[in-house]
Amino acid sequence: MKIDAHHHLWNLTKVNYPWLMDKGKIRFFGDPTDIQRNYLWPEYSQDAKNAGFQGSVHIQVGASDPIQEAKWVDSINKETQCWPVAQVAFADLTDVELSRNLDRLQELKTVKGIRQIVGRAPEEDTLTSLSKLLENPNFLKGLNKLSERGLTFDLQLIPEFMEIIAPILKKVPDLKVVLCHAGSPYNRTAAGLIDWSERLKDLSNLKNLHCKLSGLGMFEYNWSTESIKPIVETVINQFGPERVMFGSNFPVDSISSNFKKLSTSYETILSQYPTTQQNEIFGLTAKKFYSLTS
């Protein structure tokens, strides 16, 4: 079963997403104008089904009310027609109300994990000071709470934070963690990719940490199969296919490609690996990680 381990949906009439309402602002992933509209299940699932996918994981996407977003995502589960769906919701791990918020989220059967972004891109992280999360002792306490509850953690950051967060994650060895967007290798020069690859080892050496091949178009709008191939191969070499999963990052990555081009490019790159390993990356790893049931 092919599973898209990282995608988004949004309904601007039901949930407020401040960044989607902020018209005319260029983001680190490009001009969001084309995606500042409703992006709903029928549109996403048609593209995914055409590419052979049969299950997916919805990732929170910056709603002003994360509980409202999670409830809306949970409500569309009936539209999926037996398509296995999980969702990763947002919770602030440093919030004194974390336990209460997790209680509310875990009332929703689709919630399997939590994402709190540590880093998006250098220029935006400077403005938001997201990295200060790692200096807050409550962040580690929050990670422990996720582990105790059997929730997963989606980790999004940039390479510069990898060395800093690695010793924190070592303290929660039973927490299932997955690195979003291959750790955001935003510098696509030869030197930049070497630096990212070396920093990535701090995380790939942690056996409870997985990695998503997703979002690679956010930092390279004119990407090609050949240009992302070294990133894909590095991730697989460091993590092994049993800890790697594919994610479309749609509709954000629709800015740089269509779904068919994206899935076909990964199929081309992964064709060099045994079918069993391709099956892990395209579904089995995500199914096990997020406890998806068909």
- pLDDT tens for each residue of 223-276: 999 999 999 999 999 999 999 999 999 999 999 999 999 999 999 999 999 999
CATH class for the domain made up of 2-289: alpha beta
pLDDT number for residue 24:
85
C-beta of residue 71 within 8 angstroms of C-beta of residue 60: no
For the chain, the farthest-separated pair of C-alpha atoms sits apart, in whole angstroms, at: 48
pLDDT number for residue 244:
98
The single-letter code of the amino acid at 208 is N
Confidence of residue 279 (pLDDT cuts 50, 70, 90): very high
pLDDT number for residue 294:
62
Give the total residue count for the chain: 294
- Which residues make Cβ contacts (< 8 Å) with residue 156, sequence separation at least 6? 115, 117, 118, 119, 120, 179, 180, 181, 184
Confidence of residue 131 (pLDDT cuts 50, 70, 90): low
SS3 assignment, position 153: strand
Cα distances from 156 to residues 60, 119, 179, 211, 254, in angstroms, run 12, 6, 6, 10, 19
Render pLDDT for 141-185 as a digit per residue (tens, 0 to 9): 999 999 999 999 999 999 999 999 999 999 999 999 999 999 999
Residue ranges in the chain assigned as alpha helix (H)? 18-21, 41-50, 66-75, 98-105, 122-128, 137-149, 162-170, 190-204, 225-239, 259-270, 275-279, 285-289
Average pLDDT of the chain?
95
Measured in degrees and rounded to the nearest 5, phi and psi for residue 259 equal: -65, -40
Whether 127 has a pLDDT exceeding 70, the answer reads: no
Torsion angle (degrees, nearest 10) of CA 130, 134, 138, 141: 120
Confidence of residue 39 (pLDDT cuts 50, 70, 90): very high
Whether 278 has a pLDDT exceeding 90, the answer reads: yes
